[in-house]
Structure 1
Amino acid sequence: MKLLVILSLIGCALSFPRAYEPIEVDYHGQQGIPMASYLRNAEAAADFDGARIVGGTPARLGAHPHIAGLLIALTQGGTSMCGSSLLSNTKLITAAHCWRTNNFQGQSITVVLGSLRLFSGGTRITTTNIQLHSNFNTRNLNNDVAIITINRVDFTNNIRAIALPSGLLEYLTYVGNRATAVGYGRLQDSGSNSNEVLHQVSLIVIENFVCTDIYGPSTIIDSTLCTDTQGRIGTCQGDSGGPLDFSFQNVRYLIGVTSFTSQRGCQAGLPAGFARVTSFLQWIRARL
């Protein structure tokens, strides 16, 4: 009888899979559209002198010449926002979910280069030429990368491509190293203290198994890169598609494309997820 009870308990335990932390997959509905609306209104209301938002912090134009903001016109109506990284005079990389999710589909993208703000200034190029990774999964954001093609843009002090990892850098995991995430997104999950200009944050890359234990093996795969967000720092709403870069010998290398945070928000203290660029180098280079 005891044996039957034990076997029954084991059977019950095995029949209930572990519940992992859900990630946010409805990006446009929950993050991109509301954030774009907020930024449009904030920019319209702010007194901007080209270097500072009144009541905010100074921002130096050209500090991150490889980042480009994205304004995404959706087929369902409305405008969303994302980030991207300039790879050449005609190519950028972003997150695939910036173009397509389960609930939304992009119609066109306006790429904003050389600007601290999304709705004004800089060089602005509209395109419909976006190629998603063929194995992109909208349910778990695996293979969350896409290439954007634009008309040629000339490099300046404020517009410049970021390098892709090469040589030994292609084989590093970057675990334990600091990398810099850049984006136009929120500074916190709620409230009015949002990012009206470009911000950056230094993050530590962590082992994938730490992320797997939180988000589960269907979300965290070899081509995922995770960063520690303890202390409530990290990427947030509106930062999707933007760069995570690693500085080596005074050269910045793109090692991650901002992909996801916990569904509970960016201040939950849970790891942030990126598409690991070294896992997609062959795919990227074939499209440059």
Structure 2
Amino acid sequence: MKLFVILSLVGCALSFPRGFEPIEVDYHGQRGIPMANYLRNAEAASDFDGARIVGGTPARLGAHPHIAGLLVDLIQGGTSMCGASLLSNTKLITAAHCWRTTNFQGRSMIVVLGTLRIFSGGTRITTTNIELHSNYNQRNLNNDIGIITINRVNFNNNIRAIALPSGLLEYLTYVGNRATAVGYGRLRDGGANNNDALHQVSLIVIENFVCTDIYGPNIIIPSTLCTDTQGRIGPCQGDSGGPLDFSFQNVRYLIGVSSFTSQRGCQVGSPAGFARVTSFLQWIRARI
């Protein structure tokens, strides 16, 4: 794979439109809880049609051994769902809003590893140990990142940690490169879905100023990473917290944590936003 070495140009837009597109900040109420209810019922049905990531393809078991599903029990009632990435035998990384938003607070979560279906199979570990970034902002999803601690899990062909960027990879913006998003979330905005496996999709990383023109400088900051979703592809309802990974020299590196899409939906063509992992490496390494 050709590696583009491009310095960051974030914040370089000279002017902004009068109004910016809103992002979805009420994740659990609008997306996580409805999606968890849908998948729970769907997996219990004989004609399970498992809704997954928008515009992607089914992922075989073991193709993304770092992916984890999260079933979040909320203090306000109900169960929501998110994704996460395994960083070690005891640590995972996810989006902070999977645990706390302006309207919801997690009580506990079940971490689901090594399965294509979030409500069945695999290894399941319950935890209440989640640390959110101290600068996480619930209103604009800045610094949307958190570390989960679980009891030790053994690695196998279907459960394995993903690498963090190191060396030269720590200093890249990844603009122009392709990266892979993986998730248990919806296949499209509403309507029927017709796939029964964890899904993956290849996305192109774009300049932050493109994202700023759409969402505004209050949402897009240097620690945000954006991907192009033209062609109706990208993360969707239920994919929050999941990985965006980049392959280099046959090693897979985590470069993004799924954070937000447009409030209008995940198939409207607006960029998808991720927490930029390279901006948080010191914080992450101090906790794993």
Q: How does 1:123-138 map to 2 (within 5 A)?
A: 123-138=123-138
1:197 shift after superposition: 2.6
Aligned equivalents of 2:36, 2:194: Cα separation in 1: 11
Q: 1:58 Cα deviation (Å)?
A: 6.0
Query: Are the counterparts in 2 of residues 188 and 194 from structure 1 also a CA contact under 8 Å?
Result: no
Q: Which residue of 2 aligns with 1:201?
A: 201
Aligned mates of 2:195, 2:277 — CA distance in 1 = 26
Could you tell me which runs of 5 or more consecutive residues in structure 2 were left unpaired when the two chains were aligned: 1-16, 49-56
Cα contact 1:185–1:194 (8 A) shared by 2: no
Name the counterpart of 1:219: 219
Shift of 1:196: 4.4
How far apart, CA to CA, are the structure 2 residues paired with 1:201 and 1:148? 25
Report the alpha carbon displacement of residue 46 of structure 1 after superposing the two structures with TM: 3.2
Q: Counterpart amino acid of 2:238?
A: G
TM-score, normalised to structure 1, is: 0.90
State how 1:146-165 maps to structure 2 within 5 Å.
Answer: 146-165=146-165
CA distance in 2, matches of 1:63, 1:101: 31
Report the secondary structure of 1:211's partner residue.
Answer: helix
Stretches of 4+ aligned residues off by more than 4 angstroms: none
Q: Distance in 2 between matches of 1:160 and 1:262?
A: 31
Rg larger for: 1
Match of 1:237 in 2: 237
TM superposition shift of 1:161: 0.1
Question: Residues 37, 194 of structure 1: CA spacing in aligned structure 2 closer, same or farther, 3 A cutoff?
Answer: farther
Whether the 8 Å CA contact 2:260–2:274 is kept in 1: the answer is yes
Q: Assess if the C-alpha contact under 8 Å between 2:58 and 2:199 holds in 1.
A: no
Residue 236 of structure 1: how far off its partner (Å): 0.5
Structure 1: unaligned runs, 5 residues or longer: 1-16, 49-56
**Equivalent position of 2:90 in the other structure:** 90
CA deviations on 1:194-243 (whole Å, 9 max, x unpaired) are 66431000000000000000000000000000000001111110000000
Q: CA RMSD in A?
A: 1.3
**What does the per-residue CA deviation read over 1:54-87, in whole Å, with 9 as the maximum and x for residues that have no partner?**
xxx8642101000000000000110000000000
Equivalent pairs: percent with the same residue? 86
Alignment partner of 1:237: what SS?
coil
1:60 aligns to 2:36 (yes or no): no
Q: Distance in 2 between matches of 1:77 and 1:219?
A: 29
1:47 deviation in Å? 5.7
Q: Which has the higher helix share?
A: 1
8 Å Cα contact 1:72-1:99 kept in structure 2? yes
Aligned to 1:271: 271
Alignment partner of 1:282 is 2:282: yes
Question: Counterpart of 2:23 in 1: which secondary structure?
Answer: coil
2:65 touches 2:157 (CA, 8 Å); kept in 1? Answer: yes
Name the amino acid aligned to 2:227. Answer: T
Aligned length: 264
Local SS of the residue matching 2:35: helix
> Which position in structure 2 is the counterpart of 1:40?
40
